[in-house]
Structure 1
């Protein structure tokens, strides 16, 4: 919760709705109606372009992917040894625990669906006008991820994104917060299906050792089944998130 330094004012929000804006010690709190559809459309197109042509969303997707592995491992009682994010877009999460069971299954299954799930949760918050909540929760998640990051490039990715979120939340005007939150949410929604497609193409070229391959070993279901399952979840999240943002 943000401790307010002085009472804020009531300002006319986006789309004619009334929103409450207050200056806090840590952030400028922006809470009110969802953004107009034009903002959602423009940020969506920018995010799609970034996901297709830039490596920055790929590195963010990898960090969130590995963060999903780490969170699932922690929640299932496994010990998280560390997380690595490499400059080529690959990543690794190392955890200790039982060699079989629901904990290991959840840990292996969480990675490819986690960015999409985070994206749809963020979209739901934005649809309710909770812009600052998206930024604060993202900073908290990145701070937790930084605690288990074990390589310099991964730390650079996490610190850079986290710092930009803090600066936007503390010093930027409300419309910058809004655009940034929408852009970040779209990136997560788009990068989920894209990463599954990259996985499928890599497996067709003979790559082995992916999350789908490891799940196939432990469940005796074909790796293609898990690729399709990852794709179905990420696509559903992308469609659901888009419906929320564009409503």
Structure 2
């Protein structure tokens, strides 16, 4: 069994800059295809969507903590729903934490793509393992522990067992999948407001409207703007690779 010092050395080494993975345009297109396969078909979304939901709820949780609210717990469910409970006397702080659900998967996805294509893929994966481990303190149901535990196992295996180049490729695929998932969730949110208004109580945009009186359309537009901006950030290094392969 490895010593604690060896364990720590391996983990801390993940946060150092590594060689930029040599990704051809063909590999990049395959990575995008893999991301779509994870996020679009119902069978794969049944599993990957759980991780997208966890990222969504972590966005709420992080925003709550950074705005001085008391975070009481996070619940993740196998039907892709989730709840983050926080207490605050400030309506502005409550609206702040409510807002950062839908944009965070896209922001995280862009960060993973950028990190993977710039030699920081292992650092992004190791940092994710730390965040997921810390989130265990706030989980309040068995499904949440199961989903998060599986994610920790996956990020831990990449950090300790996979070569840095492979981790860089995995970071790109995972980031693209989160970006696709963010678009999918935005479409679902829009459908709730257009076709399934009986489900409005599940919509962050509607909850923001209730808290601020700002129309739901503006909140959805802001979500869309941040998701589109995340795609733009992620797309810049992708364009450079496609140009080099042309």
Distance apart, 1:244 and its partner CA: 2.5
Q: 1: distance between equivalents of 2:5 and 2:235?
A: 33
TM-score, normalised to structure 1's length? 0.84
Q: Provide the residue aligned with 1:60 in structure 2.
A: 51
Structure 1 residues 115-194: aligned runs within 5 Å:
115-194=105-184
- Give per-residue Cα distances to partners, 1:52-80, cap 9 Å, x unaligned: 01222211111011001011001101000
Q: Provide the residue aligned with 1:89 in structure 2.
A: 80
CA contact (8 A) 2:110 2:176 kept: no
CA contact (8 A) 2:106 2:230 kept: yes
List gaps (5 residues or longer) in structure 1.
6-22
**Structure number with higher strand proportion:** 1
List gaps (5 residues or longer) in structure 2.
241-246
Q: Provide the residue aligned with 2:70 in structure 1.
A: 79
TM-score, normalised to structure 2's length? 0.84
CA contact (8 A) 1:125 1:134 kept: yes
Distance apart, 1:149 and its partner CA: 1.2
CA contact (8 A) 2:115 2:168 kept: no
Q: Provide the residue aligned with 1:50 in structure 2.
A: 38
Return structure 1 stretches of 4+ with deviation > 6 angstroms: none
Q: Provide the residue aligned with 1:235 in structure 2.
A: 228
Q: Provide the residue aligned with 1:208 in structure 2.
A: 200
Task: Pick 1 or 2: higher relative contact order, CA cutoff 8 A, min separation 6.
Answer: 2
**Structure number with higher helix proportion:** 2
Change (3 A) 1:237 1:187: same
